[in-house]
Structure 1
Amino acid sequence: MSERTDRPKTVLLRRGEVHSPADPFATAMVVEAGQVAWVGSEGAADAFADGVDEVVDLDGALVTPAFTDAHVHTTSTGLSLTGLDLSGAPSLDAALALVRDFAAARPGDRVLLGHGWDAARWPGGRPPTRAELDAATGGRPLYLSRIDVHSAVATSALLHLAGLGAVDGPLTADAHHAVRAAAFAAVTPAQRADAQRAALAQAASLGIGSVHECAGPQISSEDDFTGLLRLAAEEAGPRVVGYWAEQDVEKARELGAVGAAGDLFVDGALGSHTACLHLPYSDVDHVGSAYLDADAVAAHVVACTEAGLQAGFHAIGDAAVTTVVEGVRAASEKVGLARVRAARHRVEHAEMLTPQTVAAFAELGLTASVQPAFDALWGGDDGMYAQRLGVERARTLNPFAALLRAGVPLAFGSDTPVTPFDPWGTVRAAAFHRTPEHRVSVRAAFTAHTRGGWRATGRDDAGVLVPGAPADYAVWRTGDLVVQAPDDRVARWSTDPRSGTPGLPDLAPGRDLPVCLRTVVGGRTVFVRPGE
């Protein structure tokens, strides 16, 4: 990324396909003063050619609104890009070999950082022991977060730095927060800024124009959060909307957050057996962990509503989601349902929903900030969800279609580094959900990953290419465009141009995903693919 220029250029894009509800047949667009100024046909574009700073020949490329990733951990993502990635390790032995190689290659690192192990996918199903990690690192401090980032394993040296004893097994809750804080304390400000730049640059290269940073005292630090917001304001790149997950509403405001929200934990995660359930897990005899009760949720929603900030909660298990619903409903009885709805409070993940909690989300005006890639990675009758919950309960997870039918606003994200930035893959995952009744149309999924992210921050004027909207867009090399009829399910498609609906790429499994050629934020180009 580079420094921002003083003035965004006036640009004419022509000879392409512009995805705009203002003109379903648009092939050209004018951007001026950081906003969309006009969309229309190629024939009408000549009238603008002499009054612009730049003309971009799209050569048939597709222009869409830039994506918004509604749940991101920027610094952790950047560190995972430059650190040890275990997400592809097929076994425990392979993971330990990667740890040994990484430790040997990084002799100067004060603490070794890694991410992405998933014992549920390994033969034998067990994570590395502390003794195995001590041997692989030669006794150096090492932090390895599980793929869901709700548990971790660590070496004896890091446990000592964190003030913990010789704990065996994956660390959760406060112990996990302690070792993570000790590990990240070894990251210098310069390393942290480089990691943030790396993450935002990767987002831009994938057509992502804005991210919602979900930070908090149990996740990162105040310096990390304010440094990221400052970097995003000073350098060209994706927009960063900051959420700070703490019940201290004034602290969130002081730090520059738009909400005391994000990963304010009501529970943990299914993979780590810390999501809070009404009934026990199928593979362990307990119901997970509860970190907030309904009274605490209600008090926080009241405080945020009265302060004019968004509240939001991390809730995955069905018991945790019920806690949020009960708390928000109690808050609405105190400050008024209309005020609560107008605040657009959020629930992150919201995986285990029932018809009753779906209806409550709609009643209370809650935005569901969800991650379709979770289903692609862990869904299905043989996936991690089924291991943890049994097949029948697993099939109820991530009911995107039911949420849309009820009128619940959806905002799609990745929760990177849990799953990587992959916007078109995210749209595909929602459209081809492993449980067919939870599938939504490509058009609905695309909207949830573009306009839905803006609406989740309280803005209804963005995430769409119409005159007056922010000029946040991406240019794509793609195959044939298709139009899904409004009453169609995913399996039936129409290419009839008379539909008057802008086309989107064919994302059927096996098809190549679109390739980003250029990303523009506020009229400023933040990514151009080399050679384009």
Structure 2
Amino acid sequence: MHSVTEPYANALHADNGVTAWLGSDEAGEQMVAATASGLIERRDLDGGLITPAFVDGFSTTPLVSHDARNALSSTVPTPRSVYYAPLDMNASDADGIYIAANQLDRLEEVISGIKPPTQMLQESTEPQQLEHILSVLEQQPNATLMRSRHRVLINHDISDKQIYRLVESHISVTLLPDIIDGLPVIYAPVAALLAAGVHVATGTGEWTGSIWTVLTALIEHRDAAQRISTRAAFNTVSRDGVRVWPSRIAQENMAAGQIAVGSPADFNVWRAQELGVQAPDVKAAHWSTDKRAGTALLPVLSSTDSAPTLELRIRDGQAL
């Protein structure tokens, strides 16, 4: 079970759509016998791995049946989406405003017409566009930037100075992979962003394959210095994917994207070839199956192996 708060847990109890308990199989059986009344549905994982349902940082495809995602950011208002209205669309029912890369010349006009905590999701396809975004936003008072917590969609090189300015302006980054030869590729310096304290989420964009494949692109970044651990990569499509949402929505869902007592009971059950904990030597991608360090297990990911298989979805505490 991938729970940061209870890394040794191998059983959970969900009640009324909420995670009510985490622990061992034996303790779970005793607790249910002592406290539960009525019909209790039991599921044996049989070696499967439970993780929080994915939070997609940005996608052009809505949720579908048997989807491993439970929420996404989108420019289309769909169920379980954080909706960013494109420019020239009615934004009255939107959660934020989306500015495409070819519309960044209107950024000053847009920002002059909104008030915090309205959040902008801005697309940047090259360093010069990010420079323009930073230059415009830096003209805003710090208190305004803190309340709005704007986002940028990005997958290009970012200088150390630009990373510093992202932090100073309270701007989060959502990584959006390029699709090269049928596979997602990440170019942005994700390790440097995380090390500087930038909030980073990962989106799928037009990718419709497994999100684990996108995470593998982060782990096997083409720049060895920018490779990150599987745990850090997974965070970008779970709890960190929630943190980059507009302030009100993020606060209302602050327990989402994780498995902890009190969190929403939105899980996926996976079948993976191997589970492990990545060792500190990230560049070498060493793995250990020893949980004594108290780190929750995740699938061992590699571009040479098949991605984990989704066996069961649990939404609002109900097995689907």
Find out whether 1:514 has 2:308 as its counterpart.
yes
Matched to 1:292, the amino acid is: L
Helix, strand or coil at the partner of 2:304 = coil
For 1:329, give the aligned amino acid: E
Letter in 2 for 1:300: V
Please state how far the C-alpha of 1:200 moved relative to its aligned partner.
Answer: 2.2
Matching residue within 132, 138, 146 for 1:329? 138
- Aligned residue pair count: 310
Secondary structure, counterpart of 1:401 in structure 2: helix
- Displacement of 1:212 in angstroms is 1.4
| Structure 1 residues 479 and 397: alpha-carbon distance in aligned structure 2, compared to 1, 3 A threshold | closer
Which of 152, 173, 176 is the equivalent residue of 1:371?
A: 176
Shift of 1:397: 3.4
Give the aligned partner of residue 154 of structure 2. Answer: 349
Q: Does 1:339 align with 2:144?
A: yes
- The aligned counterpart of 1:442 is 230
Q: Which amino acid in 1 is paired with 2:173?
A: A
Report what 2:212 is aligned to. 424
TM-score when normalising by structure 2 = 0.88
The answer to whether structure 1 residue 59 and structure 2 residue 42 are counterparts is no
Contact 1:23 1:39 in 2 (8 A): yes
Q: C-alpha distance in 2, partners of 1:379/1:424?
A: 10
Instruction: Indicate yes or no: 2:272 matched with 1:409.
Output: no
Q: Percent identity?
A: 30
Alignment of 1:182-197 (within 5 A): none
Relative to its length, the structure with more strand (as a share) is 2
CA offsets, 1:432-463, max 9 Å, x none? 01221221111100000111211111423210
Cα 1:506–1:379 change in 2 (3 A) is closer
**1:471-490 CA deviation, whole Å, 9 max, x = no partner?**
11100111221112346435
RMSD of the TM alignment (CA)? Answer: 2.4
How far residue 205 of structure 1 moved from its aligned partner, in angstroms, is 2.6
Q: Does 1:313 align with 2:313?
A: no
Greater RCO structure (CA 8 Å; 6+ sep): 2
Structure 1 pair 437–374 and aligned structure 2 pair: CA distance change class (3 A): farther
Counterpart position of 2:63: 200
Residue 292 of structure 1: CA displacement?
Answer: 2.5
8 Å CA contact 2:224, 2:283 repeated in 1:
no
How many Å apart are 1:374 and its aligned residue? Answer: 4.2
Q: Is the 8 A contact 1:376 1:433 kept in 2?
A: no
Q: Deviations over 1:398-417 (max 9, x none)?
A: 1111111111111111112x
Which has the higher Rg, Structure 1 or Structure 2?
1
- Given residue 399 of structure 1, which amino acid in structure 2 is its aligned partner? P
Partner of 2:265: 471
Q: CA deviation at 1:303?
A: 4.1
Whether contact under 8 Å (1:350, 1:368) holds in the other structure is no
CA shift in 2, pair 1:353/1:375, >3 Å:
farther
Per-residue deviation, residues 241-272 of structure 1 (Å, max 9, x unmatched): 21112277xx31x2x221113xx1233xxxxx
Structure with greater proportional helix content: 1
- Does the CA contact (< 8 Å) of 1:247 and 1:300 recur in 2? no
Distance 1:397 1:424, change over 3 A: closer
Aligned partner of 1:265 among 88, 96, 100: 100
Residues 118-169 of structure 1 show CA distances to partners (whole Å, capped at 9, x for unaligned) of xxxxxxxxxxxxxxxxxxxxxxxxxxxxxxxxxxxxxxxxxxxxxxxxxxxx
Q: Is the 8 A contact 1:372 1:430 kept in 2?
A: no
Q: CA deviation at 1:209?
A: 1.2
Q: Distance in 2 between matches of 1:456 and 1:376?
A: 30
The gaps in structure 2 that reach 5 residues or longer are none
Contact 2:219/2:229 (CA < 8 Å) preserved in 1?
Answer: yes
The alignment partner of 1:54 has SS state of coil
Q: Distance in 1 between matches of 2:270 and 2:286?
A: 24
Letter in 1 for 2:11: A
Cα deviation for residue 375 of structure 1 reads: 6.8
- 1:120 corresponding residue in structure 2: none
Q: 1:62 to 1:376 in 2, by over 3 A?
A: farther
- Aligned in 2, Cα 1:463/1:376: closer, same or farther, shift over 3 Å? farther
Whole-Å separation in 1 of the counterparts to 2:184 and 2:19 = 39
Q: 2:289 matched to which residue of 1?
A: 495
Structure 1 partner of 2:75: 214
Name 1:273's counterpart in structure 2. none
Contact 1:206 1:421 in 2 (8 A): no
Q: What residue is the counterpart of 1:114 in the other structure?
A: none
Which residue number corresponds to residue 12 of structure 2?
29
- Please report how far the alpha carbon of residue 352 of structure 1 lies from its aligned counterpart in structure 2 after TM superposition: 3.3
For normalisation by structure 1, the TM-score amounts to 0.55
Compared CA separation, residues 435 and 482, structure 1 to 2 (3 A): same
CA contact (8 A) 1:375 1:434 kept: no
Residue type at the aligned position of 1:342: R
Relative to structure 1, the CA distance from residue 342 to residue 521 in structure 2 (aligned partners, 3 Å threshold; closer, same or farther) is farther
Query: Aligned in 2, Cα 1:523/1:337: closer, same or farther, shift over 3 Å?
Result: same
Tell me how far apart the structure 2 counterparts of residues 329 and 356 of structure 1 sit (CA, whole Å).
Answer: 14
Does the 8 Å CA contact 1:484/1:494 hold for their aligned counterparts? yes
Contact 1:369–1:410 (Cα < 8 Å) also in 2: yes
Offset at residue 33 of structure 1 (A): 1.6
User: How much does 1:338 deviate?
Assistant: 3.0
Alignment pair present for 1:48 and 2:35: no
The whole-number CA distance in structure 2 between the counterparts of 1:356 and 1:375 is 28
- 8 Å CA contact 1:321, 1:350 repeated in 2: no
Deviation of residue 307 (structure 1)? Answer: 4.4
Please report how far the alpha carbon of residue 343 of structure 1 lies from its aligned counterpart in structure 2 after TM superposition: 2.1
Question: Could you tell me how far apart the structure 2 residues matched to 1:341 and 1:502 are?
Answer: 32
